[in-house]
């Protein structure tokens, strides 16, 4: 890998199918508006990374086991079939409803303790899975959703095979997708797919570091009870009135076996580089203490100052510095999340990956000299979930940082605000 100035060597995993999802807007507070999660997001990022010399690798097809490792079958089946059912039901042709959108939500407040039933009507069923009105499904959505998850799994495989870092240009994004629900412009949780793939490839412990401007409620929910995948996020404070409103608070630290393996740092809206980077550094310290052997970076760049929602005010230099902090921790599978300012998106993603690459070049341990390549070919059997036989592949962050070059034999144990809605969403 090269350092700054020499072009980007991080492989960019991509599928043209990610362009097939055209949500055609979002329903916000009862009105359909132009959405910001548009196909052009992916094309500008691809253009920027290609211009920097990054190799583009195709997303490899994975079977649905990769999805079912982190999602309920009911959600996967819903997403795979809802457009066909919607079309067959005449919603576009007869009612002018050109996208799938929910209108009744079986909340705890509605059910009042009664069991959840599968509604007979297609339009009644959508709210069982889609928890907001902003996350529409159209004709090519499933192909793109599937391709994004494949890209994430491919990036994880490249890292497991010895790449110091890999990046999946996922669209649609994923970090708001929960075990059995979707929302926030996300359908399947690409970062969770990557984290689970790294675990199954032999990483004993994995950390997801989420720098998207919003809390990744879906990723948190997927791993909340698990000690083997640490979730760490810096985001605009939901307590100050921001999406996802119900989750992302500092008191959420994990549950049961996962107690201590979740860390949220909410920031005040308008926070810039200094507080944001201090938070990233704090998350990195926790991830290192947890003993993560591989990192999934949920790379949302909607903390950019020019982002249309602009909840935070982080510069491209800030993202590069964050990439450097994170790249020191271990091998990185970076997954595209949000980021909506088409003019600066490419620059921000490139900055973050440049930082990751620079740190990986400095901190790559001597034994990672290429011998690791092909050790985890895709047709090899899935490794034992304990990570026992994959241990040589990954080492805990503190070992990498110390550059001792020795594989660790014992993993460390897991470490045992409010405002009005005026300017926020
Ligand atoms: C992946 C990701 O970044 N998802 C973002 C989901 C949060 N979107 C909140 C959008 C709030 C509504 N936008 C208001 C538009 C006003 N014209
Ligand atoms: Zn976001």
Nearest CA to ligand 1 atom 8: 184
Is the pLDDT at 416 greater than 80? The verdict is no
- Distances from the Cα of 25 to the Cαs of 33, 134, 242, in angstroms? 5, 8, 20
User: Does the pLDDT at position 415 exceed 80?
Assistant: no
Kindly identify the ligand whose nearest atom is closest to the C-alpha of 218: 1
- What is the structure's pLDDT at 365? 60
Is the CB–ligand 1 distance for residue 135 below 6 Å? Answer: no
CA of residue 302 to ligand 2 center, whole Å: 6
70-106: pLDDT as tens digits = 999 999 999 999 999 999 999 999 999 999 999 999 9
Residue 114 has pLDDT above 80, yes or no: yes
Would you place residue 395 in the very low, low, confident or very high pLDDT band (cuts 50, 70, 90)?
low
Closest CA to 411 of 163, 251, 228: 228
Tell me which residues have their CB within 5 A of the ion that is ligand 2.
212-214, 300, 302, 338
For the chain, the structural domain boundaries read 12-71+145-363, 76-128
Tokens standing for 61? 């097809």
Instruction: Give CA–CA dist 163/133, Å, rounded.
Output: 39
Q: Is the CB of 150 under 6 A from ligand 1?
A: no
| Dihedral sign, Cα of residue 126, residue 83, residue 24, residue 194 | positive
* Number of C-beta neighbours around residue 421 at 10 A: 11
Per-residue pLDDT tens over the stretch 240-264: 999 999 999 999 999 999 999 999 9
- Token pair in block for residue 160: 């497991």
Q: Residues 6 or more apart from 41 whose CB is under 8 A from it?
A: 171, 339, 340, 342, 345
CATH class, range 12-71+145-363: alpha beta
333: which strand partners? 166, 296
pLDDT value at residue 310: 82
Which residue is closest in CA terms to ligand 1's atom 5?
A: 184
């Amino acid at each position: 890998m090269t350092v700054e100035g020499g072009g980007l060597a991080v492989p960019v995993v991509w599928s043209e199918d990610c362009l097939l999802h055209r949500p055609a807007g979002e329903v916000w507070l009862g009105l359909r508006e132009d959405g910001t999660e548009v196909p052009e997001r992916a094309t500008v990022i691809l253009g920027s990374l290609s211009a920097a010399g990054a190799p583009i690798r195709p997303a490899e097809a994975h079977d649905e086991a990769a999805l079912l490792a982190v999602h309920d079958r009911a959600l996967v089946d819903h997403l795979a079939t809802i457009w066909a059912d919607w079309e067959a039901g005449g919603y576009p042709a007869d009612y002018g409803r050109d996208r799938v959108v929910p209108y009744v939500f079986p909340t705890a407040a509605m059910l009042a303790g009664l069991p959840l039933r599968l509604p007979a009507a297609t339009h009644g069923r959508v709210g069982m899975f889609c928890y907001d009105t902003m996350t529409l499904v159209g004709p090519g959505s499933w192909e793109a959703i599937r391709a994004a998850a494949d890209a994430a799994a491919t990036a994880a495989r490249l890292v497991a095979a010895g790449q110091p870092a890999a990046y999946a240009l996922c669209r649609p994004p994923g970090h708001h997708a929960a075990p059995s629900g979707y929302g926030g412009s996300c359908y399947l949780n690409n970062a969770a797919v990557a984290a689970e793939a790294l675990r199954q490839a032999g990483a004993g412990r994995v950390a997801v570091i989420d720098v998207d401007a919003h809390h990744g409620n879906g990723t948190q929910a997927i791993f909340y009870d698990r000690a083997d995948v640490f979730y760490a996020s810096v985001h605009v404070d939901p307590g100050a009135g921001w999406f996802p409103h119900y989750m992302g608070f500092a008191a959420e630290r994990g549950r049961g076996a996962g107690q201590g393996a979740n860390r949220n740092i909410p920031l005040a809206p308008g926070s810039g580089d200094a507080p944001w980077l201090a938070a990233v550094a704090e998350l990195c310290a926790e991830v290192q203490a947890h003993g993560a052997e591989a990192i999934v970076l949920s790379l949302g760049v909607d903390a950019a100052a020019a982002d249309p929602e602009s909840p935070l005010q982080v510069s491209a230099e800030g993202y590069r510095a964050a990439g450097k902090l994170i790249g020191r921790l271990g091998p990185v599978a970076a997954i595209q999340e949000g980021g909506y300012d088409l003019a600066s998106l490419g620059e921000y993603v490139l900055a973050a990956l440049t930082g990751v690459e620079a740190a990986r070049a400095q901190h790559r341990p001597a034994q990672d000299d290429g011998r690791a390549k092909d050790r985890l070919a895709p047709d090899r059997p899935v490794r034992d979930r304990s990570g026992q036989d994959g241990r040589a592949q990954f080492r805990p962050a503190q070992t990498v940082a110390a550059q001792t070059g020795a594989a660790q034999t014992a993993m460390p144990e897991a470490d045992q605000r409010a405002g009005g809605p005026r300017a926020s969403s």
